[in-house]
């Protein structure tokens, strides 16, 4: 599927990986709806890129917020094809199961992390996918064996997972389990949406030079770089954006998680 002239939703598009993805999509001729909870950051992007971008304040957990964003896209770019969503909105949360003070990790913090990273991913994906289906031509009916196959690439859902999903470090129970859940969405959702010509892929980055990456303690940073094969540095958000675009454009990428990690493997701390 081509990027040019299509409309994409980018959650977390006001900063970090999402912001880099917005710039890359616009550079290639796309229209982008930036969904972000940070109103100041989102409006800044929309003001900078003007006609190519709209900002919608959005809590990814909120059905109402996402539906408002979809409606805003229909109003702004009526009749244009929806290319899909790049879901970068999420939070990082550190804390051991039982801390050094003997206190258990707060259950409300654990729940909130899963709600934002996992439930939010599913919420955005289901609503955007339903909108793509509703605005697409009639689909193949599985009740009629001789009906034509759907061969057109009608859209793609791109989730952001993390290498922590399979290699979570100490203190990452909440974050790692939320990202493992995101990876668990990919294959069954790709199977659900295949008949509509919609693909589902996750990108699992290692530590990148974003606000979340900057908060990594120096000792942890050093350990991560020691296990990175090449290049021995933190990833650049633009490299994530390049891969997201490659996923959009390559119709054979479906139902899987792609690591973006320089060959790194996380140690326990």
In a domain, 252, yes or no: yes
User: Which residue in the list 31, 142, 175, 196 is annotated as catalytic?
Assistant: 175
Q: Supply the range of the domain harboring residue 74.
A: 7-135+152-260
In a domain, 172, yes or no: yes
In a domain, 48, yes or no: yes
pTM comes to 0.90
| CATH number for position 164 | 3.40.50.720
Which tens digit of pLDDT belongs to each residue from 70-85? 999 999 999 899 999 9
Mean pLDDT calculated for residue range 165-175: 85
**DSSP code string of the chain:** ---TT-EEEEETTTSHHHHHHHHHHHHTT-EEEEEES-HHHHHHHHHHHGGGEEEEE--TT-HHHHHHHHHHHHHHSTTPPEEEEEE-------B-SB-TTSPBPPHHHHHHHHIIIIIHHHHHHHHHHHHHHHTSPPPPPTT-TTSPP--S--EEEEEE--THHHH--TTBHHHHHHHHHHHHHHHHHHHHHGGGTEEEEEEEE-SBSSHHHHTS-HHHHHHHHHT--SS-SPBPHHHHHHHHHHHHH-TT--SEEEEESTT------
In a domain, 248, yes or no: yes
In a domain, 31, yes or no: yes
Known catalytic residue: 175?
yes
Q: How many domains does the chain have?
A: 1
In a domain, 269, yes or no: no
In a domain, 79, yes or no: yes
In a domain, 108, yes or no: yes
Per-residue model confidence (pLDDT) at position 141: 52
């Amino acid at each position: 599927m081509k990027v040019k002239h299509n409309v994409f939703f980018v959650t977390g598009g006001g900063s970090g990986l999402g912001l880099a993805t917005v710039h890359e999509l616009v550079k290639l001729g796309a229209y982008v709806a930036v969904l972000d909870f940070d109103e100041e950051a989102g409006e800044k992007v929309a003001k900078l890129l003007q006609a190519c971008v709209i900002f919608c304040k959005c809590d990814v957990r909120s059905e109402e917020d996402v539906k408002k964003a979809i409606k805003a896209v229909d109003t702004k770019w009526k009749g244009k094809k929806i290319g899909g969503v790049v879901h970068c909105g999420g939070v990082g949360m550190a804390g051991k199961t039982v801390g050094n003070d003997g206190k258990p990790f707060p259950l409300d913090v654990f729940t909130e992390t899963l709600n934002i990273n996992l439930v939010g991913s599913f919420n955005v994906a289901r609503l955007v996918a339903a909108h793509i289906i509703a605005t697409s031509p009639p689909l193949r009916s599985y009740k009629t064996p001789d009906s034509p196959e759907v061969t057109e690439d009608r859209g793609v859902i791109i989730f952001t997972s993390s290498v922590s999903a399979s290699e979570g470090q100490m203190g990452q129970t909440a974050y790692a389990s939320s990202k493992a859940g995101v990876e668990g969405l990919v294959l069954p959702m790709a199977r659900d949406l295949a008949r509509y010509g919609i693909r589902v892929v996750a990108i699992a980055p290692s530590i990148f030079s974003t606000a979340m990456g900057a908060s990594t303690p120096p000792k942890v940073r050093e350990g991560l770089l020691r296990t990175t094969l090449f290049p021995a540095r933190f990833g650049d958000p633009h490299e994530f954006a390049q891969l997201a675009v490659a996923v959009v454009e390559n119709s054979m990428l479906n139902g899987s998680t792609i690591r973006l990690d320089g060959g790194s493997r996380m140690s326990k701390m």
